[in-house]
Amino acid sequence: MDRRTAVRLVTTLLALLVPSLFVLDRARAGGDHFYPPVNDPVVAEECGGCHLAFSPAMLPARSWQAMMANLEDHFGDDASLSPPTVAHIERYLVERAADAGGARYASRLLRGVTEAQTPLRITTLPRWEREHREVTRAEWADPKVGSKANCAACHRDAERGYFDDD
């Protein structure tokens, strides 16, 4: 191929690769933003099949209760489970919720959420939105990401509870 074609090819490849490398790398090294990961096998199995088993410390207890009361219509999916399994998972999530026991990480992510609000998404918490305001539309649209809820696409240690920002 001639020189111009080669240059164009390289530029196209870079344009495709660089934004995703950039956004994926930004969330990686350093820091200590720790949200205790799910360590119960039932919760990991039943709540980790379709997406990351989200840390209970990312939503208040009332949110988990509301979510567990309506698993038949779980963000458009049917995630229903037997009553004993629901009870087991709900107890686990509520005991470790963001507002259980005044943990440090909790107040951080719940900032801006009033007692009257029952957020069902982590990705609509004001604090979460603020932490992600620098992520561009193109970065969200990256096929490796697909959804804001796909934390592990950018936070490579999400499964282990780490969401570092630099």
* Least CB distance to ligand HEC at residue 103 (A): 14
Integer Cα distance of 40 and 43 in angstroms: 5
* Least CB distance to ligand HEC at residue 15 (A): 18
Integer Cα distance of 98 and 95 in angstroms: 9
3-class DSSP assignment, residue 122: helix
Residue nearer to ligand HEC on the CB measure, 14 or 138: 138
Candidates 4-12, 13-21, 96-104, 157-165 — which segment interacts with ligand HEC by CB under 6 A?
157-165
Candidates 8-16, 95-103, 110-118, 135-143 — which segment interacts with ligand HEC by CB under 6 A?
135-143
DSSP H stretches of helix in the chain = 3-26, 41-47, 61-68, 83-95, 104-110, 126-131, 137-141
- Residue 34 has φ and ψ, to the nearest 5°, of -110, 130
Interface with ligand HEC (CB under 6 A), residue from 6, 31, 111, 138:
31
3-class DSSP assignment, residue 36: coil
Cβ pair 92, 47 in contact under 8 A: no
Interface with ligand HEC (CB under 6 A), residue from 37, 97, 153, 162:
153
Compute the Cα dihedral for 98, 103, 107, 109 and give only its sign. negative
Interface with ligand HEC (CB under 6 A), residue from 37, 46, 113, 162:
46
Asked if 135 touches ligand HEC (CB under 6 A), the answer is yes
Asked if 42 touches ligand HEC (CB under 6 A), the answer is no
Compute the Cα dihedral for 60, 64, 69, 74 and give only its sign. positive
Residues that bind ligand HEC (CB under 6 A): 23, 26-27, 31, 33, 46-47, 49-51, 54, 58, 67, 74-75, 77, 79, 89, 121-123, 131-132, 134-135, 139-140, 145, 147-151, 153-155, 163-166
